[in-house]
Structure 1
Amino acid sequence: MTTAPVRLPEHLDHPFSPAGRINPHPAYRWLRTNDPVHHDAASGLWLVTGHADCQTVLRDPRFSAAKGQRERARDDALPPSMLTTDPPDHHRLRAPGALLLGPSAVRSVAGDLTRDVDELLDRLGRRPAAERPDAVADIGRPLATAVFGRLFGLAAAEYARFETLARAASINLDPMVPPARAALGRTAAAALTRYLDAHCATLARGGRAAPLAAFAADDRLTRSEMLGVLNLAVVGGWQPLAELVGNALCSLLPDRAAVRRLAAGDDTSGEGGDAGGEAARRAVDELLRLEAPIPFTARVTTDTVELAGGTLPAGARVLAVISAANRDPAVFADPDELRVDRHPNPHLAFGGGPHFCLAAQLVRQAGGLLLPRLLRRFPGMRGPHGVPDWDRCLVPRRLRVFPVDLGVPGADDKDPGTAEEDHG
């Protein structure tokens, strides 16, 4: 007997439709409750929305990442990298990547990044009071560019060019862009690769000391493989890090108790708090849980797989819907609410299994450095009124714009009636 396909109720927007892309959470909530392993007739994809099932998709070797990337809606080939391979090739490509994005690399640039963040906040403070900076363009992108500039050993004069190339190549994050934009993405990726290739050659001739120099000199990778991994680091790292700031402030600013808590940070440095401390990193994880810039990841089954929520046939094109899994009430109490001190927090915004994001510590460090400093400098910061202006792209999940009112730098932000008690 053939089972009739499950369809979303008419009052819910499909999560891939223009309206659904703005707010996919109602549809994901319904699917997670009613059909957690859902075959979507419109796209031919299987949408997996439960946390436990998504963990299986990310960890089980019967789900191929390599085939998942080849099954994108676009017909352009991706360069060789961790994203496009399964073990053991994946492990071979990933190991050298630690030289660029691993803990030692992050520690080597931490001091410079602290100065970069303080300079960014100084620039914001010098803006005319009537000028409302955009959290995406004026805070997120400069942060991401500074982070990659330090990792890559770029001169400050190169930052604008690098940002232009990174933004253009980030079109390639979205697997479902129209053909014309996909063509622009291919051209931009090629231009970015040429730029990075030339910059690596400069470093090899005695340029600045930087994690990229060690990575580019590693002989475990061919030149083509090295550039493929490097291209992935930019396309998969720069844009999501830039979007993290706007997404985070959109969730955070309405909750004034949470703002004050994060601004206080871990007061262990003797200088008003440790901006990169544990409290800040927990807050970054929670903000990523609520609005992850990468909302899903693709796999293809190599065999029939039984999940708790249903059965997937061999050859199924599967999306592990991270945005849905991160709000699963079976795992997260009050899943739609912000709890900046949530612990434990087994969110899947960094993926899981062999493909766990190599830059996770970098993102936590950068976000944990920026956000407390930003909120201490501008404790009266407020976001725009009304419905957030979410972009209609699928990947990354991002705000089109998010203008912020900085308030008066250093002014007390206690709301009337909340001075004695916080309910965050």
Structure 2
Amino acid sequence: MAMAHDNLNDLLTWLEAERARGQVTYNEKQECWQVLGHPEVSRVLSDPATFSSDLSALQPQQEDFKLFQRGNFVGMDAPQHRKLRTLVSQAFTPKVVAGLAPRITELTEQLLDGVRDGGRFDLIDELAYPLPVIVIADLLGVPTSDQAMFRTWADTLLSRQVDPEQSVIRVNEEALDTIAPTMREMNSYFLDYIRSRRARPGEDLTSKLVQAEVDGERLEDEEIVGFVGLLLLAGHITTTATLGNSVVCFDEQPEVVAELRTDGAALPAAIEEVLRLRTPFPRLARITKSEVEIGGAVIPAGQVVIPWLTAANRDERVFAEPNRFDMHRKPNPHLTFGHGVHFCLGAPLARLEAKIALQILLDRYKDISIADDVPVEYRSPWTMVGVNKLPLEVRAA
């Protein structure tokens, strides 16, 4: 049986078939509610009192998962979420992020200078993965020499095969055997690192977390594990996906590249359209705390709700010709980075990294094309819309 994660077009076809039943529908096979429309998804994400982010009831009751979850503020509700998010929010303010621009520029140039075959390279291996992971590792203070291990962890956690015919609860249970060893390895690595920073604090973000106080109390080492792990993984994977997705979109739209080469100021708008059309994280998850009516449906309490960012970003009620790449789309209120109290902390950093790296690529190479003799390796769009391998052929400017 062909499953909806085979490619992005298959997933989009599946989502539109679901949407034909309504913007909010119950999927009996998955045993959850699908929320597809833009205003409906916006409402779910902006109402944490009704739609809880605490998914611990769905998580495998296993020690490695429990340990990581203690500091995973993405999976928390107020007031705990607010307290922990406040601790790191200062590290990702627009002003602080803007100060990273020289370092991001320097790294991009160094990585491209280091490409062995100057006319041909894999974008993900040579730039899209190492650039953001080095930036976030520098912020956290973790050794960038371990980046190959970080990539293995991310690939393991984000390469789960998902069958749309199967219950989302059962999928989580079956993921235990494949993910638990990786979670254990991550937890052990971060716990050792956190303890070393408590003994010898530096100027990095991990040292600040170790010394921070919440309501007059220091965080325990075990509370910081999921914190640092989440920041490391989420802090690079969205930029990696966005850089790859941008080049894929531009390869399909040569007129866009031509315009960007004459009007560099248009690049941020083009990136926003990439984020809308190829949303890196296609869906989120919530649990209803009480019965709620939304989109013409009544959802009982205690139900799993899946807000589909990919579907919301292609809602024709909000986006004219939603399947067309339009870098001049105004406004472009995509929900790629979420909405409400859980809006992605790293959004300013991801946008800056993408802007700087893509501008340098355009400046450095007069021709950029996807190689036609080696296949592009796409991720399963059910879990992440992006590419693992993107072989490019380039010509220096």
Normalising by the smaller structure, the TM-score range is 0.7 to 0.9
Match of 1:254 in 2: 252
Partner of 1:413: none
Q: Does 1:358 align with 2:345?
A: yes
Equivalent position amino acid for 2:339 in 1: G
Matched, 1:196 2:190: yes
Q: Aligned pairs, how many?
A: 378
Q: Among 92, 101, 122, which residue is 1:134 paired with? A: 122
Letter in 1 for 2:69: P
- Asked if 1:297 corresponds to 2:287, the answer is no
Partner residue of 1:242 out of 240, 243, 266: 240
Partner of 1:37: 24
Partner-residue secondary structure (3-state), 1:405: strand
Q: Aligned equivalents of 2:220 and 2:16: distance in 1? A: 44
Q: Is the 8 A contact 1:166 1:239 kept in 2?
A: no
Q: Which residue of 2 aligns with 1:10?
A: none
The reply on whether 1:343 has 2:337 as its aligned counterpart is no
- 1:316–1:347 Cα change, 3 Å: same
1:180 positional shift: 7.7
What CA deviation, in whole Å up to 9, does each residue of 1:24-50 have, x standing for no partner? Answer: 112212322432212112211211110
Contact 1:117–1:143 (CA under 8 A) maintained in structure 2: yes
**2:383 partner letter:** V
Structure 2 unaligned spans of 5+: 163-170
2:52 equivalent to 1:64: yes
Tell whether the 8 Å contact from 2:138 to 2:144 is kept in structure 1 after alignment. no
Q: Would the alpha carbon gap of residues 100 and 393 (structure 1) be closer, same or farther in structure 2, given more than 3 Å must change?
A: same
SS of equivalent to 1:289:
helix
- Are residues 357 and 233 of structure 1, via their aligned partners in 2, closer, same or farther at CA, if it must alter by over 3 Å? same
After superposition, residues 312-323 of structure 1 pair within 5 angstroms as 312-323=299-310
CA shift for structure 1 position 234: 2.0
Q: Match of 2:366?
A: 379
Shift in Å, 1:311: 2.5
Q: 1:223 to 1:202 in 2, by over 3 A?
A: closer
Secondary structure of the residue aligned to 2:293 is: strand
Q: Is the 8 A contact 1:109 1:150 kept in 2?
A: no
- Aligned residue identity for 2:337: F
> Contact between 1:283 and 1:340, CA under 8 Å: does it hold in 2?
yes
| Residue 395 of structure 1, aligned match among 368, 376, 383 | 383
Instruction: Give the C-alpha shift of residue 362 in structure 1.
Output: 0.8
Q: Which residue of 1 aligns with 2:168?
A: none
Per-residue Cα deviation, 1:59-115 (whole angstroms, up to 9, x for no partner): 112001103x53258964342221221111110111002144333442343321210
1:150 aligns with 2:138: yes
Structure (1/2) with the larger strand percentage: 2
Aligned in 2, Cα 1:137/1:152: closer, same or farther, shift over 3 Å? same
Does the aligned pair in 1 maintain the 2:41–2:308 contact within 8 Å?
yes
Q: Aligned partners of 1:138, 1:323: CA distance in 2, in Å?
A: 28
Correspondent of 2:318 among 314, 327, 331? 331
Aligned partner letter, 2:89: A
Q: Tell me the alpha carbon deviations over residues 190-222 of structure 1, each in whole angstroms, 9 at most, x when there is no partner.
A: 333333344445555667633443333222233
Amino acid at match of 1:214: K
CA-CA distance at 1:318 after TM superposition? 0.8
Give the Cα–Cα distance (whole angstroms) in 1 for the partners of residues 76 and 338 of structure 2. Answer: 15
**C-alpha separation in 2, matches of 1:237 and 1:263:** 29
- Of the structure 1 ranges 46-55 and 140-149, higher mean CA displacement relative to structure 2 is found in 140-149
Out of 295, 301, 320, the position equivalent to 1:308 is: 295
Give the secondary-structure state (helix, strand or coil) at the position aligned to 1:404: strand
Partner of 2:165: none
Task: Report the CA distance shift for 1:349/1:62 in structure 2 as closer, same or farther (over 3 A).
Answer: same
Q: CA deviation at 1:314?
A: 1.8
For residues 319-347 of structure 1, the C-alpha deviation after alignment (integer angstroms, 9 at most, x for no partner) is 00000100111111221111223332111
In structure 2, the residue matched to 1:165 is: 150
| Amino acid in the other structure paired with 1:55 | S
Q: Aligned partners of 2:327 and 2:255: how far apart in 1?
A: 10
Cα offsets for 1:107-144 (capped at 9, x unmatched) = 343321210011122223x5253xx3222222211122
Secondary structure at the aligned position of 1:380 is classed as strand
Report the equivalent of 2:224.
226
Structure with more relative contact order (C-alpha pairs < 8 Å, separation 6 or more): 2
Q: What CA distance in whole angstroms lies between the structure 2 residues aligned with 1:227 and 1:99?
A: 19
**Which residue, 204, 207, 217 being the options, matches 2:211?**
217
Q: Residue 52 of structure 1: CA displacement?
A: 0.5
Q: Is the 8 A contact 1:64 1:301 kept in 2?
A: yes
Deviates more, 1:397-406 or 1:370-379: 397-406
Asked whether the equivalents of residues 46 and 341 of structure 2 are also in contact (C-alpha less than 8 Å), the reply is yes
Residue 148 and residue 39 in structure 1: after superposition, are their counterparts in 2 closer, same or farther (change >3 A)? same
TM-score (norm 1): 0.80
| Paired residues for 1:11-26 under 5 Å | 17-19=4-6, 23-26=10-13
Unaligned runs of 5+ in 1: 1-12, 268-278, 411-424
Give the Å deviation of 1:185.
2.8
Structure 2 Cα separation of the partners of residues 71 and 372 of structure 1: 42
Secondary structure of the 1:381 match is strand
Q: Distance in 1 between matches of 2:38 and 2:207?
A: 39
Structure 2 residue matching 1:133: 3-state secondary structure: strand
Distance of 1:170 and 1:391 partners within structure 2: 9
